């Protein structure tokens, strides 16, 4: 089986929670904070309007690198969490036309796809094919002026409902190791796990 990495389809145009792009040519939160009038020291969260304002500025800069002279005109957003990702989609729409897809495999249930004017939700990741058709039916042009915002955890890798257990296990292990390092002999793993799960 062939393996791929995010770099294969995103290059360094990846932005983690700190809102600092991996590509140093693209300004991140630290460079944009004063221009956007954002509170010092605070990193906006995905469902907040400030997050969308930063992301759109990052996307405009990335578009200028990708295709100089071709402005960014619209966005597609792919995510896995109804509340956070729907909020992000609606906040991005304040800056650019945006349509979104929120997916999660629920193999035990009948296939279900729902749409409103902005977001398609589906309980199968293979509904991304339906999403593309829906986007085109909305008259949403897919061309060089379109950028895709792709959530990483439980979307681009470890898709929710399909193979997200690996991500969950890695997170638990990272927190467990950190707690063990900080607490040393006082760390109680039997007590830790139910607290973490809650």
pLDDT digits (tens, 9 = 90+) for 108-147: 899 999 999 999 999 988 999 999 999 999 999 999 999 9
E strand spans, the chain: 74-79, 98-103, 113-115, 119-122, 146-150
**Sheet with 98-103: strands ordered across:** 113-115, 119-122, 98-103, 74-79, 146-150
pLDDT band at 10 (very low <50, low <70, confident <90, very high): confident
How much is the pLDDT for 165?
A: 60
Please compute the mean of the pLDDT values over residues 139-158 and round it to a whole number.
80
Q: What is the largest CA-CA distance in the chain?
A: 61
Which candidate, 120, 116, 88, places its Cα nearest to that of 103?
120
Residue 150 pLDDT > 70, yes or no?
A: yes
Instruction: Give the predicted TM-score (pTM) of the model.
Output: 0.80
**Collapsing DSSP states into helix, strand and coil, what is residue 64?**
helix
How much is the pLDDT for 106?
A: 82
């Amino acid at each position: 089986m062939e393996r791929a990495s995010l770099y294969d389809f995103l290059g360094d145009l990846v932005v983690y929670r700190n809102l600092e792009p991996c590509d140093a040519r693209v300004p991140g939160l630290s460079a944009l904070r004063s221009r956007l009038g954002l509170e010092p020291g605070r990193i906006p969260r995905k469902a907040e309007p400030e997050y969308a304002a930063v992301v759109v500025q990052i996307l405009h800069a990335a578009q200028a690198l990708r295709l100089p002279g071709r402005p960014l005109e619209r966005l597609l957003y792919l995510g896995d969490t109804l509340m956070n990702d729907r909020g992000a989609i609606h906040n991005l729409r304040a800056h650019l036309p945006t349509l979104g897809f929120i997916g999660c495999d629920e193999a035990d249930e009948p296939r279900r796809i729902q749409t409103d004017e902005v977001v398609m939700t589906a309980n199968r990741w293979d509904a991304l094919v339906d999403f593309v058709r829906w986007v085109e039916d909305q008259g949403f042009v897919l061309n060089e002026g379109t950028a895709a915002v792709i959530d990483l955890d439980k979307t681009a890798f470890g898709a929710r409902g399909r193979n997200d257990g690996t991500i969950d296990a890695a997170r638990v292990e990272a927190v467990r190791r950190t707690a063990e390092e900080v607490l040393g002999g006082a760390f109680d793993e039997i007590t830790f796990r139910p607290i973490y799960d809650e």
